[in-house]
């Protein structure tokens, strides 16, 4: 039996195969609601806009200053992800 799973993009409204959507654990069904093409178009537009770029950078900086512990945790988590991707085993030790 061969099945094909499709999903409608929330942005362009086109029904597409599930492979056109990024996987994401947090979303119902394990995939994001916006197709890969729309996601990249949206990201490109945002990155190209200097006003948005500046605002994102400033907001990020403020957030980091207000939440130093969480910022450090995110940094640590992304570092752990990189290590795990490269075959390292990371064990959490409570102290
Ligand atoms: Zn789309």
Same domain, 10 and 39: yes
Q: Name the pLDDT band for 22 (thresholds 50, 70, 90).
A: very high
* Boundaries of domain holding 26: 6-44
Domain membership of residue 39 (yes or no) is yes
| 5 φψ region: left (φ > 0), alpha (ψ -120 to 50), beta (else) | beta
Å from CA of 48 to ligand 1 middle: 20
pTM: 0.51
Å from CA of 43 to ligand 1 middle: 13
The whole-angstrom separation of Cα 12 and Cα 35 is 8
List, in sequence order, the alpha helices (H) in the chain.
Answer: 36-48, 50-66, 68-85
Domain membership of residue 94 (yes or no) is no
pLDDT at 53 over 90: no
The whole-angstrom separation of Cα 49 and Cα 66 is 26
pLDDT at 95 over 80: no
Same domain, 61 and 38: no
Q: What is the DSSP letter of 27?
A: S
Same domain, 56 and 39: no
Same domain, 40 and 12: yes
Domains identified in the chain, total number:
2
Å from CA of 24 to ligand 1 middle: 16
């Amino acid at each position: 039996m061969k099945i094909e799973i499709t999903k409608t993009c929330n942005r362009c409204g086109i029904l597409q195969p599930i492979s056109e959507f990024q996987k994401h654990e947090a979303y119902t069904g394990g995939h994001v609601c916006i197709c890969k093409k729309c996601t990249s178009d949206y990201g490109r537009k945002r990155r190209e806009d200097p006003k948005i770029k500046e605002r994102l950078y400033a907001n990020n900086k403020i957030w980091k200053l207000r939440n130093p512990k969480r910022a450090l945790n995110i940094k640590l988590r992304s570092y752990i992800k990189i290590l795990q991707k490269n075959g390292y085993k990371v064990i959490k030790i409570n102290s």
